Amino acid sequence: MRDQEVREGEPSQVQAALGGRWRALVGMGVPLVALFCLWPYQRWSGEQRTSVLGGWMDQVTRDSEWHFCLLVPVLVGWLIYRDREAIKRLSMAGSWWGLAGILVGLVFFWVGYKVDTGYPGFVAFQLVLGGLIVLLGGWGWARALFFPWLFLMFMWPLFPLEERLAFPLRMMTASLSGGFLNLIGVSVVREGTALYSAADALVGLGQGDLFRLDVEEPCSGIRSLFSLMMISALYGYLTLKSPGKRLILFLSAIPMAMAGNFVRMVMLAVASSWFGSEFAVGRNIDGHQEMSFFHSMAGFAVFGVALAGMFALCSVLERRHWRRISSRREVVTKEVSGAGGNGWAGAVAGIVLAGAGLAICAGTDASLKLAEAGVKLELPLEVGSYGGRVLGMSAAERDVLDEGVELVRNSYASPKGRGVLATVIVGGPGKRTLHRPEVCLPGQGWIIGSSEVVTLRMGGGREVEATLLRLFRDGEGSDGVKVRVRGLNLYWYVGSDGATRPDYYGHIAKGYQDAILKNLNHRWSMVSVFVPVSEAPLGQEDLLQEFGVLEETKAFIEDLMPAVMKRAE
């Protein structure tokens, strides 16, 4: 049987070729196992470090929305097996350029180990594996295995993208669903990501009496988006010939996921109007939402609509795609004529580089201790002429915020009646425990009109940059007149050493930078100040009033912060 794998060549050449394949397996296996299966890489949960793949397994098994990641290695193995005959004919012609990919991957590995975060480890795995393929097999192997290697990226859960993409998808789904329902005669009122049945005075129904639906993350499309993207990438690869058409199908997963969730929300709203909220959505028992059978079945609409649209699009792009599935993919290969390439030298080089990377990690001080917060977890009851009262953390916030996050909040009022809401949040031990107000505020019904960076005085001649959000939301007054409420929200992040950053991603980057260069593991805090501006009939707002309120708020912050800050950078 082995003679059939190598169609031309003398016995010595056959043995050399097979020996080259064994060297490749050993040369790839040893570094990958040592770096990503054995080395204690990150504190994924608890105090003990575990390996990259051990942490990956823990992450994808704990969160059911990412269970599909477990299928990816199996699918990659099937893709390689599918083209096994063509791959067998590839010559072993390793290139030393593969060392560049390995070295870059090892840099990512060290960075993730140093700052105790997993995502650089995921990137390192991809780069090291790609570098090893080029180093031991050569560019022919890299071309043949490019899609399986690229497809392997779906193996990694991308939790940061959930936070980055979920809210825009929630808002778009709510907006589209609300507009369509009103168009077909189901009157709804949208507030942020929530849909309420409209009031009907003729039958004595108030707003929200028929149904109250919130486009939460499971209904936003983000939870199904990544699995649909994986399916579209695989399906397009198997059925379409043109790279451009494959890319179109892959990108279509985004609108397809939104379309599925749009249909789901419409189904829930219409069923609530016809048969009642308990039938369509479920019952709320002691604060716990129990989904009805209809609600659960409506969830299948997400994949049903998305997959149907994907198949239809694929049929348009390539009419003969069904025949394409059963046919072998053609791979341009060369007959094996010997071991070729760098032989044992390449395998040894890969192992030595991995060992050197582990040695550097072993000599790295990665015992980062969480520093103290740079702010005091307290707010004064008097700030200038403002008097305050303690509000604290709400039950809803306590359920949403990550473990270890602490919060203090006071409301203040000036003698003129100007109200201010000041909040100080101290993050937990994780790197991303402080969320952006841009995520939370729209979920409460606020629409962000604009965002900009402004300079604030902190007292003592110090100035910091903060993000200013201009907010508004529309509603109805007691007399039925539509009114618009405007507000301002100023926020910024404070590090353990007093360093400040005006935005979320700036404080994340600063945290990684200081962990690497200063061995400082910040316990970040966020200061947020919200102030209502006006409430007036829609179209009659005094837009100039905002400038005066902003100046008053800046003066309030200047009086407040000396009592809150521990130290300056």
pLDDT at 454 over 70: yes
Average pLDDT, the chain: 80
Check residues 564 and 535 and name the one with the higher pLDDT. 564
Band (338; pLDDT cuts 50, 70, 90): very low
State whether 127 and 167 are in the same domain.
no
Helix 243-251, helix 300-317: angle, nearest 10: 160
pLDDT at 544: 76
Q: In this structure, are strands 194-197 and 382-383 parallel, antiparallel, or unpaired? A: unpaired
Band (550; pLDDT cuts 50, 70, 90): very high
Most confident of 68-72, 181-185, 330-334: 68-72
Helix 253-275, helix 243-251: angle, nearest 10: 30
pLDDT at 191: 67
DSSP string, 74-95: HHHHHHHHHTHHHHHT------
- The answer as to whether 471 is a domain residue is yes
Check residues 65 and 234 and name the one with the higher pLDDT. 234
- The answer as to whether 527 is a domain residue is yes
pLDDT at 495 over 80: yes
Scanning the structure block, which residue is given the tokens 């969830």? 299
Where in the sequence is the domain holding 203, given as residue range(s)? 161-326
Scanning the structure block, which residue is given the tokens 């080395």? 39
pLDDT at 529: 94
The DSSP call for residue 498 is: S
pLDDT at 339 over 50: no
Q: Which of 5-9, 132-136, 306-310, 514-518 has the lowest mean pLDDT?
A: 5-9
State whether 316 and 356 are in the same domain.
no
Check residues 17 and 369 and name the one with the higher pLDDT. 369
Average pLDDT over residues 271-282: 74
pLDDT at 329: 47
CB 188 within 8 A of CB 197: yes
pLDDT at 109: 94
Average pLDDT over residues 416-428: 89
Answer left, alpha or beta for residue 288, where phi above 0 means left and psi between -120 and 50 means alpha: beta
- Alpha-carbon distances of 482 from 33, 210, 211, 240, rounded to whole Å: 64, 21, 21, 52
pLDDT at 25 over 80: no
CB 428 within 8 A of CB 404: yes
- Alpha-carbon distances of 274 from 7, 118, 195, 244, 355, rounded to whole Å: 70, 48, 16, 45, 67
pLDDT at 280 over 80: no
Helix (H) or strand (E) holding 472: strand 462-476
State whether 51 and 165 are in the same domain.
no
Helix (H) or strand (E) holding 247: helix 243-251
State whether 407 and 474 are in the same domain.
yes
- The answer as to whether 373 is a domain residue is no
Pairwise CA distance, residues 363 & 127, whole Å: 23
Q: What tokens appear for 448 in the block?
A: 């962000």
pLDDT at 328 over 80: no
- The answer as to whether 241 is a domain residue is yes
State whether 105 and 170 are in the same domain.
no
Most confident of 60-64, 113-117, 143-147, 154-158: 143-147
Residue 98 CB-density burial (10 A; 0-12 exposed, 13-18 middle, 19+ buried): buried
CB 475 within 8 A of CB 483: yes
Check residues 114 and 6 and name the one with the higher pLDDT. 114
Q: What tokens appear for 346 in the block?
A: 């390449």
Pairwise CA distance, residues 97 & 100, whole Å: 6
pLDDT at 321 over 50: no
Check residues 59 and 152 and name the one with the higher pLDDT. 152
**Among 284, 302, 281, CA closest to 292:** 281
State whether 186 and 301 are in the same domain.
yes
Q: Which of 16-20, 102-106, 160-164, 383-387 has the lowest mean pLDDT?
A: 16-20
pLDDT at 135: 87
3-state secondary structure (DSSP) of residue 28: helix
pLDDT at 2 over 70: no
Q: What tokens appear for 244 in the block?
A: 């451009």
What is the CA 421 to chain-centroid distance, rounded? 29
pLDDT at 181: 84
State whether 316 and 346 are in the same domain.
no
Q: Which of 109-123, 286-300, 520-534 has the lowest mean pLDDT?
A: 286-300
Average pLDDT over residues 80-102: 87
- The answer as to whether 104 is a domain residue is yes
Average pLDDT over residues 493-498: 91
- The answer as to whether 23 is a domain residue is yes
- The answer as to whether 218 is a domain residue is yes
pLDDT at 455 over 60: yes
State whether 355 and 457 are in the same domain.
no
pLDDT at 221 over 80: no
Average pLDDT over residues 62-81: 89
State whether 313 and 201 are in the same domain.
yes
- The answer as to whether 152 is a domain residue is no
pLDDT at 331: 45
pLDDT at 10: 47
Scanning the structure block, which residue is given the tokens 């700052």? 115
Q: Which of 55-64, 192-201, 310-319, 548-557 has the lowest mean pLDDT?
A: 192-201
Beta strands (DSSP E) in 441-522 are 447-459, 462-476, 482-494, 500-501
Q: Which of 36-50, 192-206, 242-256, 267-281 has the lowest mean pLDDT?
A: 192-206
State whether 185 and 84 are in the same domain.
no
Average pLDDT over residues 260-288: 73
Percent of the chain at pLDDT > 90 equals 21
State whether 423 and 559 are in the same domain.
yes
CB 252 within 8 A of CB 232: yes
Residues 6+ apart with CB under 8 A from 442: 167, 171, 192, 193, 448
Pairwise CA distance, residues 243 & 249, whole Å: 10
State whether 484 and 541 are in the same domain.
yes
Average pLDDT over residues 229-233: 89
pLDDT at 334: 46
Q: Specify the number of domains making up the chain.
A: 3
Band (192; pLDDT cuts 50, 70, 90): low
Average pLDDT over residues 297-317: 79
Question: Residues 363, 367, 369, CA angle at the centre, nearest 5°?
Answer: 160
Q: Which of 166-180, 312-326, 461-475 has the lowest mean pLDDT?
A: 312-326
pLDDT at 421 over 90: yes
Percent of the chain at pLDDT > 70 equals 79
Q: Which of 50-59, 129-138, 214-223 has the lowest mean pLDDT?
A: 214-223
